[in-house]
Structure 1
Amino acid sequence: MSQLAWNAKEATVGELAERSGVAPSALRFYEREGLITSRRTSGNQRRYSRDTLRRVAFIRTSQRLGIPLAMIRDVLALLPARSTPTEADWARISECWNRHLEDRIRTLQRLRDNLADCIGCGCLSLERCALSNPGDELASHGAGPRRLIEE
């Protein structure tokens, strides 16, 4: 594979894959999902603008944080199209994650703190469930692990 030159304005799918560490199939998937865009050459080959590298890094990092692709797409739509986002652009979109990440942190902390105990009925302990949740009273609060998601 050829390496992406530091001054290249565009990259092939192979060059972008090599530089970003993301498989070409994933890049095509991101494009189908509207997360990144490319132009087509006269030979119908994809060409990605160099700023796509930052977008792919943002997508991968967001995914590692557990942020759904639909939310990533919505936030990326706030960035300028086909140009390199500024520091202010990145700061603005990172604010979009704060509430979501705080909620996830609280949920993960509850999971960590209650994992060895009953998380209210999802159910990790059938023996203890009759003591902690007699008659499955938590079912009246909704489906899933109610103690984990309702604190």
Structure 2
Amino acid sequence: MGQNGVGTHETLSVGELAARSGVAISALHFYERQGLLRSTRNAGNQRRYRRDALRRVAVIRVAQRAGIPLAAIGEALATLPDGRTPTQADWTRLSRRWRADLDARIAQLTRLRDQLDGCIGCGCLSLRVCPLRNPGDVARARGPGAPYLEP
């Protein structure tokens, strides 16, 4: 038996977690320092991860690819239960936290795609129809950032 009475076949070493998840050991250590993952130590002082860490790593990676900041990922993961593998209901509740933000990102990316299509296609040779041109710096009155691309 490993630490906390858990058999070693029920836990993963950092190398096993890295191999199974496809994530570098250094990234797993980083996730742990950020509080996104938790490990215990065995008698030889080696990290051991519960098997549900595989799901957590998968969620972290997918969320990162979707542009969700690590702080928001950490807040969501903190709502998952300790001491048991999260259920489908737990994961559904977690994903709902990100739905509005993801919908807003999708809308912004769609606007960006639709408004930049002409510029990308023409190489900005047609300034009369470019949605990003700014004669006389009139966009300054709309505030900082990319006012023509943001709602």
1:143 and 1:59 map into 2 onto residues whose CA distance is 31
Question: Structure 2 regions of 5+ residues with no counterpart?
Answer: 1-7
Counterpart of 1:92, as a letter, is R
Query: Does residue 1:96 correspond to 2:114, yes or no?
Result: no
1:134 aligns with 2:135: yes
Identity %: 56
Q: CA deviation at 1:48?
A: 0.7
TM-score normalised by length of structure 1: 0.82
1:70-92: per-residue Cα shift (whole Å, max 9, x none)? 11111101101242101110111
Q: Which stretches of structure 1, 4 residues or longer, exceed 4 Å deviation after superposition?
A: 124-127
SS of match in other structure, 1:138: helix
* AA of the residue aligned to 2:95: S
1:139 positional shift: 1.9
Asked if the contact 1:62/1:72 (under 8 Å) is kept, the reply is: yes
Q: Would the aligned equivalents of 1:40 and 1:46 in 2 still touch at CA under 8 Å? A: yes
In structure 2, the residue matched to 1:121 is: none
Q: Equivalent residue for 2:108? A: 107
Q: Is the 8 A contact 1:51 1:82 kept in 2?
A: no
Residue identity matched to 1:23: A
Residue aligning to 1:17:
18
Task: State whether residues 49 and 82 of structure 1, in contact with CA within 8 Å, keep that contact through their aligned partners in structure 2.
Answer: no
SS in 2 for 1:81: coil
What is the aligned-residue RMSD (CA, Å)?
2.2
The amino acid of 1:43's aligned partner reads G
Distance in 2 of aligned mates of 1:78 and 1:127: 51
| Number of equivalences | 138
How far apart, in 1, do the equivalents of 2:64 and 2:124 lie? 31
State the TM-score, normalizing by the size of structure 2.
Answer: 0.82
2:20 aligned partner, one-letter code: R
3-state secondary structure, aligned to 1:36: coil
Question: For residues 100 and 80 of structure 2, what CA distance do their matches in structure 1 show?
Answer: 19
1:29-60 Cα distance to aligned partner (Å, 9 max, x none): 10011111111223321111111111001111
Identify the residue that residue 87 of structure 2 maps to in structure 1: 86
- Distance in 2 (CA, whole Å) between partners of 1:40 and 1:139 is 56
1:2-151 to 2 correspondence within 5 Å? 8-117=9-118, 128=127, 132-150=133-151
Task: Give how far 1:127 is off.
Answer: 7.8
Residue number in structure 1 paired with 2:4 = none
Partner amino acid for 2:41? R
Say whether the 8 Å CA contact 1:12–1:46 is kept in structure 2: yes
